[in-house]
Amino acid sequence: MERRAAREEAFKLLFSVDLNEEGVTEEHIEETFVKTIVHGVIAYKEDVDNMLKEHLTNWTIDRIALVEKTILRIAIYEIKHVDDVPTAVSINEAVELAHKYGDEKSGKFINGVLAKLIK
């Protein structure tokens, strides 16, 4: 599985976890990179959310739609904790997920938040 597909699978799993307030089980995850992202985002969720809060302007984390929040969590986790993924790749992949699953403004929003994060 390519990493783009793995990120998308991780996005779907994490979105479902937050939406349904259920945990994720190992049988849901087959790919190693998907496991890395899903387990990492869950393990570092509080830290990731705190970083996200620090870089929001005129927004609160509670106002962010679950699609965008999940994408941002994945990207922030990757940027801060996955050494073999360049920051630019994490940002680009997050924007691509936003274009696919968010609305027409999601990509710009994701890009803006992540740009503030990496400064």
Question: Rounded CA gap, 117 and 60, in Å?
Answer: 15
pLDDT at 53: 95
Q: Say if residues 71 and 101 touch (Cβ distance below 8 Å).
A: yes
Contacts of 53 (CB under 8 A, 6+ apart): 60, 61
pTM higher than 0.95, yes or no?
Answer: no
Tens-place pLDDT, residues 56-115: 988 999 999 999 999 999 999 999 999 999 999 999 999 999 999 999 999 999 999 999
Please give the domain boundaries of the chain with CATH numbers for all domains.
Answer: 3-118 (1.10.940.10)
DSSP label at residue 85: S
The torsion angles phi and psi of 90, rounded to 5 degrees, stand at -60, -45
Q: Report in angstroms the alpha-carbon separations of 29 from 21, 63, 96.
A: 17, 29, 22
Question: Rounded CA gap, 13 and 62, in Å?
Answer: 20
Q: Say if residues 102 and 71 touch (Cβ distance below 8 Å).
A: yes
